[in-house]
Amino acid sequence: EAAINRIAAGEVVERPASAVKELVENALDAGARRVDVAVAAGGKTLIRVADDGHGIAAADLPLALSRHATSKIDGSDLLNIHSFGFRGEALPSLGAVGRLKITSRAGAEAAEILVAGGQMGAVKPAALNQGTVVELRDLFFATPARLKFLRSDRAEMQAISEVVKRLAMAEPFVSFTLRDMSGGGEGRVTFRADAETGDMFDALHGRLARVMGAEFAENALRIDAGREGLHLTGYAALPTYSRGSAVAQYLFVNGRPVRDKLLVGALRGAYADFLSRDRHPAAALFLDCDPHLVDVNVHPAKAEVRFREPGVARGLIVSALRHALAGAGH
């Protein structure tokens, strides 16, 4: 079991940023309105994610650490998934490659459990006001070969920051903080986004300003278009706000962050007349559809998706963005 978890961990946890992604997604799946992430040494020595979600009952803590024990689907309809996680692999994987401590409160009592190198301890009473705190120390201490592949603290922190910003963009009504604890004490806040208010467009616009800057948000074009069961909403930037890399592309399918060739290609196609090959359009776009029209179950990292009708998705993106650009005088 411990060996299986370590092998699975290689799929789920490539680097500290992938651990952060899994833990923040779990917080969001638990209905958190606040997610606080603290890391030290680029996540290599410490990753801590605290949320105010519904928590885990003491009796369920060992279950949460068991392979394929997810509370999120019943197995009958894998396509119809509304949560970020559904494989029940993240926590067992993290417990196999690091020292994991989960403290959680559901109802009146809080409890904690420790697992290190796949060895699970006993559930003990703990003190916690609300939600869940998951602390992962010494990632990959049990798999030194993996440690060698990690990049500098700075580079790993950068990757963590991007993961947090991507999920913050996906959930504008939730407040996020990212803190670097490397210097000790209370740490240094490197990203903060308070919960946005208003309707979906208001909230996304506010979050866009927070993540990309106010000037960017003020000059972003509002996108709201649909065809054949697919709906595209969000904001796309004028060509002048393009970047030298794809960091400013925030793409979501049914609420999940994706980095999908088809969608990135469609985005590029829409701007093809206005941008040279080395420039990347900036945008935050949400493609929503019936879960049966898209397969998100392609890879554990879930960054790619497969559309039932790729041509429709591509056509919608290209036409909606071209229309918006034309309206802005392009």
d(C-alpha 76, C-alpha 74), whole Å: 6
Task: Between 118 and 206, name the residue whose CB sits nearer to Mg ion.
Answer: 118
Can residue 12 be called a binding residue for Mg ion (CB under 5 A)? no
> Strand (E) positions, 107-168?
109-116, 119-120, 124-126, 132-137
d(C-alpha 116, C-alpha 163), whole Å: 25
Can residue 100 be called a binding residue for Mg ion (CB under 5 A)? no
Residues in the site for ligand ADP, rule: CB under 6 A? 22, 26-27, 30, 51, 53-56, 64, 70-72, 85-91, 132
State in angstroms the smallest separation of the CB of 3 from ligand ADP.
18
Task: Between 64 and 294, name the residue whose CB sits nearer to ligand ADP.
Answer: 64
> Strand (E) positions, the chain?
34-40, 46-51, 99-106, 109-116, 119-120, 124-126, 132-137, 175-180, 188-193, 220-227, 230-237, 249-253, 256-258, 283-289, 294-295, 306-307
Task: Between 117 and 300, name the residue whose CB sits nearer to Mg ion.
Answer: 300
Give the angle subtended at the CA of 290 by the CAs of 258 and 71, to the nearest 5°. Answer: 70
d(C-alpha 212, C-alpha 237), whole Å: 11
- Show the binding pattern over residues 79-98: x = contacts Mg ion (CB under 5 A), - = does not: ------x----x--------
Q: Which residue is nearest to ligand ADP (CB)?
A: 85
Q: Which does 30 bind (CB under 5 to 8 A by kind): Mg ion, ligand ADP, none?
A: ligand ADP
State the number of binding residues for Mg ion (CB under 5 A): 3
Tally of CB atoms within 10 A around 129: 7
State in angstroms the smallest separation of the CB of 51 from ligand ADP.
5
State in angstroms the smallest separation of the CB of 292 from ligand ADP.
20
Can residue 26 be called a binding residue for Mg ion (CB under 5 A)? yes
d(C-alpha 107, C-alpha 241), whole Å: 48
- Rounded to the nearest 5°, which phi and psi values hold at 284? -125, 105
Scanning 26-34, 99-107, 116-124, 255-263 for contacts with Mg ion by CB under 5 A, the matching segment is: 26-34
d(C-alpha 56, C-alpha 30), whole Å: 9
State in angstroms the smallest separation of the CB of 49 from ligand ADP.
7
Task: Between 91 and 157, name the residue whose CB sits nearer to ligand ADP.
Answer: 91
Instruction: Please name the residues in contact with 232: beta carbons below 8 A apart, sequence gap of 6 or more.
Output: 223, 224, 225, 226, 285, 286, 287, 288, 316, 317, 320
Q: Which residue is nearest to Mg ion (CB)?
A: 85
CB-CB contact of 26 with 55 (8 Å):
no
Q: Which does 55 bind (CB under 5 to 8 A by kind): ligand ADP, Mg ion, none?
A: ligand ADP
Can residue 19 be called a binding residue for Mg ion (CB under 5 A)? no
Q: Which does 257 bind (CB under 5 to 8 A by kind): Mg ion, ligand ADP, none?
A: none
Give residues in contact with Mg ion (CB under 5 A).
Answer: 26, 85, 90
